């Protein structure tokens, strides 16, 4: 197991030679501000997560040099990009070096003929799309963190996109990338050898392996991305239902309809509607008999979106929905999508308003299991809230992950009053996360559809979910990262080295 040695002056000067002295940050603020991400956090234990220093390289070669130094000295390395990841991936567990790739944010090439672009890993999608706009092109990786997450982090997490049911998720949209292995060796991984290939059968398909590993296998530095023509039109009708079950039926009918412009559908459960009524000022008030909501989203050419929209309206009407009108439909989608904001405050049991941090669960659940998973999750949240008056149940969203309705990203949002957290409540919270993950796995789903699953609590269930595949993960980890320098402590991967510890 790697424990960060005190970083010697020797190491610091080697790093300064590699990236330039001004890009080696050792100040306390540099280190403390890279010790957390937006996920709830035991504030009183901040100091445990602080790295030894931060480097901000500007090129693949500089990253490679940093890796060689770290590997030679057996120093932990944690890649960090936007720092918006919700599973603490970019937070060091064993101090070491944070490799912050945000300076690598240039657009290196735009290929309008093959519709690709090549960018540095530190670029943001919104910013990239500003550059692509004059070409009529769009990079459609569109998470709710669209204005703040960055391409390298999308690779590190294998992210999920709100309009992925039509355009694909990060794994489909990133064609290839340069990747620095823990030894400092640089490889290009993609669908095949050529950087702009979207389907290949040559050799092992390594692209998936080097996405979503939370920085435990290496660092992506530059990526070639698939582009689409900027959609002419978008439509996002919202419908209300008197009960959850009819909304649940309706959302799947929409997904099953085979509409080509279908980009996703969202189901809001009763708890979510209650919460929005209570505390979300972006939410447009609905009569009390509204218990659940569904939204469908269509993107594409204007005529096709219009035709698909008519079909959605018919399906929803037949399923007993009440259309909420254009204004609410457009406004609510814009709010949820362009600047995703849970209100970030909640209430104590007595109804007092308090600033709360947001836990966003993100399991993948099959449509058939949604009703039951929802009840079990709410029971867990309710139990927590009863015992500690610092948690709040903000309800569940379920979003289609694919056009066929096979599985849904299922998100229970839980508010946590961080100012009040102590060891006891934190321990209870970690247990609750484990219980939530257990429900997902028991129902044949996956703990995480988008963020990854390496936080305390849920991570314990990863070997259960993956079974024999987890053992192969350990073998891969050991083969790629012989000294366990990459983001050590994450995903129980220390187990890969246990025999060597003695």
Partner 1 sequence: MTDVPPRQSPAPEEQAGGAADTGHNGGNGHSPVTVEFLSEWRNAAYNCYSSGHKFCREVCPVMQVTRNENHTPTAFHANVVAMEQGELTVEDVAEDYVNCTQCGACELRCPNTLFTGDFYRFRTRTVDLVKRMRALAVDNGVHQPGYQRWNELTDERSHEPVLGDTPVSQEHVRDWAGGLDIPIGGETVLFVDCEAAFYRTSLPRAVAQILRRAGYEFGLMTEQWCCGGPAAEMGYRDQARRFAEHNLADWRAAGVRRVLVLDPHDYITFTEDYPEFFGDDFDIEIVLVVELLAQLIAEGRLTPTVPIERTITYHDPCRLNKRKGVWQEPRQILGAIPGLTFHDVDRVTQWSYCSGAGAGLPIERPEIARKISENRMDEAAQLEVDTLVSACPWSERPLAEAGQDRAIDVVDIHELLAESLGIDVGGRTRA
If we measure between CA atoms, which residue out of 422, 364, 434, 367 comes closest to residue 390?
Answer: 422
Q: Which of the choices ligand FAD, partner 1, none does residue 131 contact, using the CB cut-off of 5 to 8 A by kind?
A: none
Site size for ligand FAD (CB under 6 A): 37
Beta-bridge partner residues of 107: 119
Spatial separation of the C-alpha atoms in residues 67 and 64, rounded to whole Å: 5
Please, are residues 259 and 304 in contact by the beta-carbon 8 Å criterion?
no
> How many other C-beta atoms are found inside a 10 Å radius of the C-beta of residue 424?
10
Residue (of 293, 296, 322) closest to 311 by Cα position: 296
Contacts 24+ apart (CB under 8 A), 126-132: 131/107, 132/227, 132/230
**CA distances (Å), origin 52, targets 45, 377, 395, 419, 496:** 16, 38, 39, 26, 25
To the nearest whole angstrom, how small is the minimum distance from the Cβ of residue 463 to partner 1? Answer: 30
Interaction of residue 142 with partner 1, rule CB under 8 A: no
Q: Which of residues 336 and 385 has its CB atom nearest to ligand FAD in the complex?
A: 336
> Does the protein bind partner 1 through residue 455 (CB under 8 A)?
no
**Of residues 430-469, which lie at the interface with ligand FAD (CB under 6 A)?**
450-451
In this chain, which of 21, 194, 258, 355 binds partner 1, going by CB under 8 A?
A: 355
Residues 286-305 interacting with partner 1 (rule: CB under 8 A): 287-288
Contacting residue, 75, 162, 293, 356, with partner 1 by CB under 8 A: 356
Residue 143 binds ligand FAD (CB under 6 A): yes
In Å, what is the CA distance from 376 to each residue of 166, 317, 442, 457? 30, 30, 11, 17
Contact characters 147-186, partner 1, x per CB under 8 A? xx--------------------------------------
Q: Are 502 and 225 in contact (CB under 8 A)?
A: no
Query: Residue 107 is encoded by which pair of tokens?
Result: 């657009």
Interface stretch with ligand FAD, choices 4-12, 48-56, 83-91, 127-135 (CB under 6 A) = 83-91
Q: Which of 6, 9, 28, 499 touches partner 1 by CB under 8 A?
A: 28
Q: Which residues pair with 346 in a beta bridge?
A: 354
* Number of residues in contact with partner 1 under rule CB under 8 A: 58
DSSP H helical segments within 346-451, as ranges? Answer: 370-387, 423-442
- Asked whether position 401 contacts ligand FAD by CB under 6 A, the answer is no
340 binds ligand FAD (CB under 6 A): yes
Report if residue 282 touches partner 1, rule: CB under 8 A: yes
Q: Kindly list the distances between the CA atom of residue 91 and the CA atoms of 104, 115, 124, 336, 487, in Å, as whole numbers in the listed order.
A: 20, 35, 20, 27, 9
Q: In the window 147-206, what residues touch ligand FAD (CB under 6 A)?
A: 149-150, 152-157, 159-160, 162
Beta strands in 236-352 (DSSP E): 238-241, 262-268, 292-300, 322-323, 345-347
Q: Is 38 among the residues that bind ligand FAD (CB under 6 A)?
A: yes
Residue 36 site contact among ligand FAD, partner 1, none (CB < 5 to 8 Å, cut-off depends on kind): partner 1
Q: What angle do CA 65, 66, 70 make, to 5 degrees?
A: 120
Cβ closest to partner 1, residue 197 vs residue 335: 335
- Smallest separation, CB 454 to ligand FAD (Å): 7
The residues binding ligand FAD (CB under 6 A) are 37-38, 78-86, 89-90, 101, 121, 143-145, 149-150, 152-157, 159-160, 162, 214-215, 219-220, 340, 450-451, 487
The residues binding partner 1 (CB under 8 A) are 25, 27-30, 32-34, 36-38, 43-44, 46-47, 56, 82-84, 100, 102-103, 105, 122, 124, 126-127, 145, 147-148, 277-282, 285, 287-288, 335, 339-341, 343-345, 348, 352-358, 417-420
């Amino acid at each position: 197991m790697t424990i960060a040695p005190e970083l010697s002056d020797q190491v610091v000067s080697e790093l300064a030679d590699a990236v330039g002295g001004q890009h080696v940050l050792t100040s306390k603020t540099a280190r403390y501000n890279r010790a957390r991400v937006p996920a709830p956090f035991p504030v009183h234990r901040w100091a445990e997560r602080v790295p030894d220093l931060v480097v901000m390289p500007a090129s693949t070669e500089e990253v490679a040099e940093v890796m060689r130094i770290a590997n030679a000295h057996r120093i932990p390395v944690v890649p960090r990009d936007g720092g918006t990841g919700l599973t603490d991936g970019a937070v060091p567990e064993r101090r070491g070096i944070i490799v912050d790739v945000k300076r690598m944010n240039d657009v290196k090439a735009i290929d309008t003929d093959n519709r690709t672009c090549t960018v540095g890993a530190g670029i943001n999608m919104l910013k990239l799309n500003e550059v692509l706009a004059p070409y009529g092109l769009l990079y459609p990786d569109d998470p709710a963190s669209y204005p703040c997450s960055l391409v390298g982090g999308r690779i590190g997490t294998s992210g999920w996109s709100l309009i992925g049911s039509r355009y694909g998720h990060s794994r489909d949209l990133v064609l290839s990338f340069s990747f620095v292995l823990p030894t400092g060796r640089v490889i290009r991984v993609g669908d095949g050898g050529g950087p702009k290939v979207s389907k290949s059968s040559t050799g092992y398909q390594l692209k998936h392996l080097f996405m979503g590993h939370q920085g435990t296998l290496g660092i992506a530095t530059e990526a070639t991305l698939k582009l689409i023509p900027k959609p002419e039109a978008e439509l996002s009708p919202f419908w209300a239902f008197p009960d959850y079950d009819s909304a649940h039926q309706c959302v799947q009918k929409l997904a099953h309809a085979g509409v080509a412009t279908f980009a996703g559908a969202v189901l809001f459960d009763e708890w979510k509607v209650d919460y929005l009524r209570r505390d979300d000022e972006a939410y447009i008030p609905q009569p009390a008999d509204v218990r659940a909501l569904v939204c469908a989203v269509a993107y594409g050419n204007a005529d096709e979106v219009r035709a698909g929209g008519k079909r959605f309206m018919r399906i929803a009407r037949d399923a007993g929905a009440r259309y909420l009108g254009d204004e609410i439909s457009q406004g609510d989608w814009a709010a949820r999508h362009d600047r995703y904001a849970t209100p970030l405050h909640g209430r104590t049991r007595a109804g007092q308003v308090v600033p709360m941090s947001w836990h966003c669960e993100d399991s993948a659940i099959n449509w058939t299991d949604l009703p039951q998973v929802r009840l079990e999750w709410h029971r867990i949240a309710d139990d927590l809230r009863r015992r500690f008056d610092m948690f709040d149940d903000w309800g569940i969203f379920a979003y289609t992950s694919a056009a066929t309705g096979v599985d849904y990203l299922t998100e229970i949002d839980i508010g946590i009053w961080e100012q009040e957290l102590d060891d006891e409540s934190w321990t209870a919270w970690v247990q609750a996360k484990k219980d939530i993950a257990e429900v997902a796995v028991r129902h044949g789903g996956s703990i995480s559809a988008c963020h990854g699953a390496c936080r305390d609590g849920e991570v314990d269930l990863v070997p259960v979910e993956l079974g024999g595949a987890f053992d192969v993960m350990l073998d891969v980890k050991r083969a790629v990262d012989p000294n366990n320098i990459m983001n050590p402590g994450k995903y129980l991967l220390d187990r890969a080295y246990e025999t060597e510890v003695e």
